[in-house]
Amino acid sequence: SDYEQLSYNLRSNAFQGGPLKSRSLVQDSYTPDVFQKAVIDRNNWHGRTISELGRWYEKYFLDLNVQKAMKERYK
């Protein structure tokens, strides 16, 4: 009896997997017209200009390279 019940549960597709088409939270939260009306300003990204971001990343990667060089130097 336990064997038959286990067999039935294995035959029935109890674990169907994920959905075939997934949607993001942003897509579910907003209507399609919001995305069509959106204007992307490449020079102003969340209140920061690209040059400011470029300088920040330049300093960040310079710092990473210095840290990596220090680790190799003082192993």
**Could you report the per-residue pLDDT of 11-51, keeping only the tens digit for each?**
666 666 666 777 788 777 878 787 788 777 777 667 666 67
- Kindly report whether the global pTM for this prediction surpasses the value 0.85: no
The residues pairing with 34 across neighbouring beta strands, listed in sequence order, are none
Phi, psi values for residue 14, rounded to 5°: -75, -30
The residue written with tokens 């029935």 in the block is 12
* Of 56, 58, 39, 37, the residue nearest 48 (C-alpha): 56
